[in-house]
Chains A and B, each alone.
Chain A
């Protein structure tokens, strides 16, 4: 073989080795203010089901990294009628919270504590980032969707009543105020994160006034961001397109219920809700939790066998670290998690493996730089 082709081959080998073993780390050249390193308090709500398992995973990893945060843990369970006042106090003081899922009894007359928390703290935007994790095989490639969902009104207004026995009404409320602010958040998010397209999801051909108002607000905000492409899609077509051609979506802004469905569908095609990070954010507070809501409490069997997937919450806590302006810790955590996933020998059941939560945590800690 000629010397030239030998060097070419060597270069090829080196490059392919480099790309498979090294997930890109971002070199951080940001200048903190003096005192930024003092530890921040974060409210921690372990929650129900797999919640305690996965929040414990986050606690362990934060310890291992010596991240400048400490948790104030509070016990909240889904059967409680309200979130305890002291927990709300703590979140209001700390401004940031990390939580596991709270199980809502079905048809039981107790309104969902997850929803209560969001409404009381006015966390009007729910964000889920659904993307293909390198090394995790899925049926769909090139998925990188951020679903931004209005979190306080819409179908979740909780206004139901029985008109006469056997006839029940539920009110879906859409206001210009809430639609505008979620549209603004979505476009701002796209602008700040260099995203090129925002898609509004609606059913305005049937719900002409309600979703029509939502669309109007989105269109108005879109005019202020001429550099970002804006389009609209009907929710049933949207789900179909997600399954067929997910690469066409970038940032999606939706009212409450559709956002729930779209986020879970997008999470499902990109690898499952066990790995997608997300959170809820308002003007003053932010609550981070597993991105998409399906399976955030998990089944009893997973709890017993300790096989819950901590990846989603770990990646959400990385988002939290960035929110708290600790980007280098966030990067280290994300890199370690992605490396563990791409190596493939330590995966929980929902990703096709057999590992326990603790094994994944240990692997992540081992991979921390």
Chain B
């Protein structure tokens, strides 16, 4: 306890400048705790955030959590329920973890997730989908990563009614955003030892927009001759994914296709309750998030599955280059699920959140 306090004190006194922060992170010193923002979220969010903190403390991960909650009224500075302070916190810490946030449908303010993405310029959403050993689904050999452009495309939110009964929605593709996500995809593939990148598109129909996206992917692909590159039309991709997911490795796509394909892939491995994801922003910002919903019906009942949040946390650790601890926690989670003794209800078991968490801590 005293050592922990000492570490915290040391951390705050030496972390006055951000330059020092980043160098501390680069050397992954375990004596200076890294500051990270945590959004527990709504519904089951707080419970799984608790569970997450337990596991990370048990694994000796020296991270200082800066917790922020969604407020109950719209902050005029951000035009959403997320406060300016929350956003600043992530911008300062550069690393964060987010639980599920409920978006009230159609109330005229920006969706919370969209706000985070736009304000923090989170341009790529990375979702690794791999079959969990020991948890059997219809597909056993899934091992792919979906990288989705996160800022523009069909989700630009630009719609208007032309005349009564005729609505237009504008899809925007820019060279800048497409290059950015393509660069990240190939860089990710290279640093994680992946062999192939597939660009998913519908350029036979949307020739200029998806055509531009493809062009950017083509250009980046030329810089990485050692990585295999292919272009797949989205309908083909959907079909191939459900017939033989082993054909794909890294997938890079514009916003809408990415949304659909990443959820499809999550379905292949067991659902959103098990899928981690990480949003990458400019200047090395990384916001890991659990992509499942807030599940208000099981909130507070100690039934929630914290796996998605935990695996997202692991992704965050890897981004921070704390690979050893990431591996530790990752193996603990995989082993607990593979063993089958402690599984939450959504995986077909009867354990509570706390029992599952304890099992993971024991496996560390």
Residues of chain A at the chain B interface (Cβ within 8 Å): 104-109, 111-112, 115, 139-140, 155-156, 158, 160-162, 165-177, 203-210, 212-213, 235-237, 239-244, 257-258, 260-261, 263-265, 267-269, 272-273, 292-295
CA distance A77 to B242 in the complex (A): 30
**Contact at A208–B264, with CB atoms within 8 Å?**
no
B355 within 8 A of A: no
B227 within 8 A of A: no
**Contact at B264–A106, with CB atoms within 8 Å?**
no
Which stretch, B79-87, B203-211, B315-323, touches the partner chain A? Answer: B203-211
CA distance A27 to B174 in the complex (A): 59
B12 within 8 A of A: no
**Contact at B171–A210, with CB atoms within 8 Å?**
no
**Contact at A139–B207, with CB atoms within 8 Å?**
no
B158-172 interface mask toward A, CB cutoff 8 Å, 1 = contact, 0 = none? Answer: 011100111111111
**Contact at A170–B167, with CB atoms within 8 Å?**
no
CA distance A177 to B165 in the complex (A): 7
Interface residues on B, range: 35 or more
B341 within 8 A of A: no
Q: Which residues of A contact B328 (CB under 8 A)?
A: none
**Contact at B170–A171, with CB atoms within 8 Å?**
yes
The CB with the most chain B CB atoms within 10 A, among A158, A243, A265, A273, is that of A243
Q: With A107-B207, A175-B166, A272-B239 as given contacts, are A139 and B263 in contact (CB-CB < 8 Å)?
A: no
Q: With A139-B138, A172-B168, A243-B264 as given contacts, are A268 and B240 in contact (CB-CB < 8 Å)?
A: yes
CA distance A161 to B264 in the complex (A): 31
Contacting residue for A240 out of B235, B239, B264, CB 8 A: B264
Which stretch, B24-32, B38-46, B265-273, touches the partner chain A? Answer: B265-273
Q: 4 smallest A-B Cβ distances: which pairs? A: A240-B267, A166-B175, A176-B165, A268-B242
**Contact at A172–B263, with CB atoms within 8 Å?**
no
Residues of chain B at the chain A interface (Cβ within 8 Å): 103, 105-106, 111, 114, 138-139, 154-155, 157, 159-161, 164-176, 201-212, 214-215, 231, 233-236, 238-243, 256, 259-264, 266-268, 271-272
CB closest residue in chain B, given A103: B204
Contacting residue for A257 out of B170, B202, B203, CB 8 A: B202
List 26 A–B pairs whose Cβ atoms lie within 8 Å, in order of A's numbering: A107-B204, A107-B214, A115-B205, A139-B139, A160-B206, A160-B208, A160-B209, A168-B208, A172-B168, A172-B170, A172-B171, A174-B167, A175-B167, A206-B157, A237-B263, A239-B238, A240-B266, A241-B267, A261-B235, A263-B235, A265-B238, A265-B241, A269-B242, A272-B243, A273-B239, A294-B235
**Contact at A176–B166, with CB atoms within 8 Å?**
yes
CB closest residue in chain B, given A115: B205
CA distance A107 to B231 in the complex (A): 12
**Contact at A207–B239, with CB atoms within 8 Å?**
no
Q: Which residues of B contact A176 (CB under 8 A)?
A: 164-166
